[in-house]
């Protein structure tokens, strides 16, 4: 069996994915998403930019012939090449498993090795912004295989991250952790121990095994489908025999308090009850002898104004560009709903659409600006600073109202995620283009820049408008619910 650094990275993120990549039925995989292909292209571009900074040598060998690749890498190391890219490091375990690592760079350093008075340190080039644990585990894996090749373990390893920031990996800390994970991974794969399903939205949404795992989780009523159930909390709940949504809904707070805090126990049980009963429930954690449901309702009433603005942004992170500022104007005086899309058709147009946005909101100085999550606030702060917006415009942030935060503060809903799509769809709202997501819009905008096909922009504009309308729909529902809440 061949165990690569990529497989070890996947095992660190999700043990089940690594198992399925070896033993799974490939026909059960989802079609690869455009956004994943974009990430791969961006990663390659980043890697090429880093490698282009200095001269480097790459081993030459027939594609897929790892033995030949390892031999060619060893020859370059023996020659004392300063920088070796796309190297191949191999090692055999006592169980007969072949370990393969392909660090992006081996960089020559002073020291003593089997080659002479020099050694090499491994360097990984990653698109991420921070040194994630899985990156450091893989860096330690490369260091271990490199130690076999050169007869001495490097003292450190390096990560080159997005924006070409360098980060030193503490091998003294990460090597033992890597060895434990590597041993677990080998045992799982050799014994064909299929890991349990656990749905984690952030880590699962781009995985090609997602649909098959999700179907299993649904059939089991797995509690990982509930918001708030993290892997660590799930392990704690397992010790109590609480593994399904129904068993969590029926659990007593006092029982759960043996493994989680009373507040978390209450929230988890209420989330499970909301899901089982398929109803919205006023959040319990806010109530005390002095804070009754009535005082809570009054304190959390959302503003309703003659004119309300609903704001949503589309961005291209790699370009550090917010290319679409969409505003839905709800004018109750004239009974009109007007969508204003301020679109940067080229990256150079961002300053222009920012001014257009400011001009529009200035027409309605008393209108609250509703949005979903804090991205809009952080973006406005960025644009204010970037384009040196006059001081008077900075006050518009006081008009912003985060509908997502208001939901999280007030109500528990029978949803698998408190994202806008899950919330709005539970309320019956649907996007006009069902297959389009925010990530897909990033790809569509890149395609527009390459092709000039305006139909791509039309898809993005419809998606953004529907996001604004979904926020409006959610806000109206929340106002009505808080006026007549369903109590637990």
CB 455 within 8 A of CB 387: no
CA 293 to chain centre: 35
Q: How much is the pLDDT for 426? A: 97
Segment 199-216 mean pLDDT: 90
When pLDDT is cut at 50, 70 and 90, the band that residue 205 belongs to is: confident
Report how far residue 454's alpha carbon sits from residue 58's, in angstroms, rounded to the nearest whole number.
42
SS3 content of the chain, % helix, strand, coil (to 5): 50, 15, 30
Distances in whole angstroms, Cα of residue 175 to Cα of each of 100, 136, 230:
16, 9, 26
Phi/psi region, residue 64 (left: phi>0; alpha: psi -120 to 50; beta: rest), is left
Segment 229-242 mean pLDDT: 94
| pLDDT tens digits, 145-156 | 999 999 999 999
Q: Delineate the domains of the chain, giving CATH numbers in brackets.
A: 2-190 (3.90.320.10), 201-278 (1.10.150.20), 307-483 (3.30.420.10)
Q: How much is the pLDDT for 488? A: 52
| pLDDT tens digits, 440-487 | 999 999 999 999 999 999 999 999 999 999 999 999 999 999 988 765
Q: How much is the pLDDT for 289? A: 47
Residue 324: both structure tokens together: 């679409």
3-state SS class at 114: coil
Segment 394-404 mean pLDDT: 92
DSSP class of residue 33 equals: P
Report how far residue 224's alpha carbon sits from residue 233's, in angstroms, rounded to the nearest whole number.
10
Q: How much is the pLDDT for 309? A: 98
Sign of CA pseudo-dihedral 232, 235, 241, 247? positive
Distances in whole angstroms, Cα of residue 410 to Cα of each of 45, 306, 431, 471, 474:
44, 24, 25, 16, 13
Report pTM: 0.88
| pLDDT tens digits, 53-65 | 999 999 999 999 9
Alpha helices in 307-437 (DSSP H): 350-362, 375-386, 391-394, 403-410, 420-426
When pLDDT is cut at 50, 70 and 90, the band that residue 323 belongs to is: very high
Q: How many CB atoms lie under 10 A from the CB of residue 320?
A: 12
What whole-number percentage of the chain has pLDDT above 70? 96
Q: How much is the pLDDT for 165? A: 78
User: What is the DSSP track for 6-22?
Assistant: HHHHHHHH-HHHHHHHH
User: What is the DSSP track for 337-368?
Assistant: EEEEEEE-SSGGGHHHHHHHHHHHHHT-TT--
Residue 358: both structure tokens together: 């400011």
Nearest to 361 by CA among 380, 348, 336, 345: 380
Q: How much is the pLDDT for 434? A: 86
| pLDDT tens digits, 411-422 | 999 999 999 999
Sign of CA pseudo-dihedral 168, 171, 173, 179? positive
What whole-number percentage of the chain has pLDDT above 90? 88
Segment 224-239 mean pLDDT: 94
| pLDDT tens digits, 259-298 | 999 999 999 999 999 999 999 999 975 555 445 666 555 5
Q: Hey, which residues does 131 pair with through a beta bridge?
A: none
């Amino acid at each position: 069996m061949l165990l690569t650094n990529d497989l070890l990275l996947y095992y660190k993120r999700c043990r089940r994915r690594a198992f399925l990549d070896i033993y799974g039925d490939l026909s059960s995989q989802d079609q690869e998403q455009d956004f994943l292909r974009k990430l791969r292209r961006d990663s390659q571009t980043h890697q090429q930019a880093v490698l282009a900074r200095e001269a480097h040598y790459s081993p030459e060998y027939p594609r897929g012939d790892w033995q030949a690749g390892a031999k060619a890498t060893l020859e370059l190391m023996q020659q004392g090449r300063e920088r070796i890219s796309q190297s191949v490091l191999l090692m055999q375990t006592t169980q007969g498993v072949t370990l393969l690592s392909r660090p992006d760079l081996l960089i020559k350093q002073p020291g003593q090795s089997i080659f002479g008075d020099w050694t090499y340190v491994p360097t990984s080039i990653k698109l991420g912004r921070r040194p994630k644990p899985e990156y450091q585990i893989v860096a330690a894996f490369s260091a271990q295989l490199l130690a076999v090749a050169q007869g001495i373990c490097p003292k450190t390893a390096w990560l080159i991250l997005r924006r070409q920031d360098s980060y030193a990996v503490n091998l003294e800390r990460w090597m033992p952790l890597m060895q434990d994970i590597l041993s677990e991974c080998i045992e799982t794969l050799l014994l064909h121990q299929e890991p349990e399903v656990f749905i984690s939205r952030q880590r699962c949404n781009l995985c090609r095994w997602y649909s098959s795992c999700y179907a299993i989780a649904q059939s089991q009523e797995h509690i990982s489908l509930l918001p708030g159930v993290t892997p660590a909390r799930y392990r704690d709940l397992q010790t109590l025999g609480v593994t399904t949504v129904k068993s969590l809904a029926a659990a007593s707070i006092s029982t759960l308090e043996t493994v989680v805090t009373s507040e978390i126990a209450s929230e988890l049980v209420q989330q499970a009850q909301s899901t089982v009963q398929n109803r919205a429930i006023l959040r319990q954690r806010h109530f005390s002898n002095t804070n009754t449901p009535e005082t809570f309702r009054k304190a959390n009433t959302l503003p309703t104004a003659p004119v309300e603005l609903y704001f949503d942004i589309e961005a291209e992170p790699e370009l550090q560009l917010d290319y679409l500022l969409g505003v839905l104007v709800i004018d109750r005086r004239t009974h009109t709903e007007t969508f204003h899309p301020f679109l940067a058709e080229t990256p150079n147009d961002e300053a222009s659409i920012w001014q257009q946005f400011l001009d529009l909101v200035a027409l309605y100085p008393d209108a609250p600006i509703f949005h979903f999550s804090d991205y809009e606030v952080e973006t406005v702060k960025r644009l204010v600073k970037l384009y040196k917006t006059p001081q008077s415009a900075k006050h518009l942030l006081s008009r912003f109202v985060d509908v997502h935060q208001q939901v999280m503060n007030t109500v528990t809903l029978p949803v698998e995620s408190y994202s806008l799509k899950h919330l709005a769809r539970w309320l019956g709202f649907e996007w006009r283009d069902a297959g389009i997501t925010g990530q897909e819009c990033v790809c569509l905008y890149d395609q527009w820049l390459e092709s000039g096909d305006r139909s791509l922009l039309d898809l993005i504009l419809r998606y953004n408008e529907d996001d604004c309308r979904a926020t409006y729909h959610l806000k109206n529902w929340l106002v009505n619910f808080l006026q007549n809440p369903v109590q637990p």
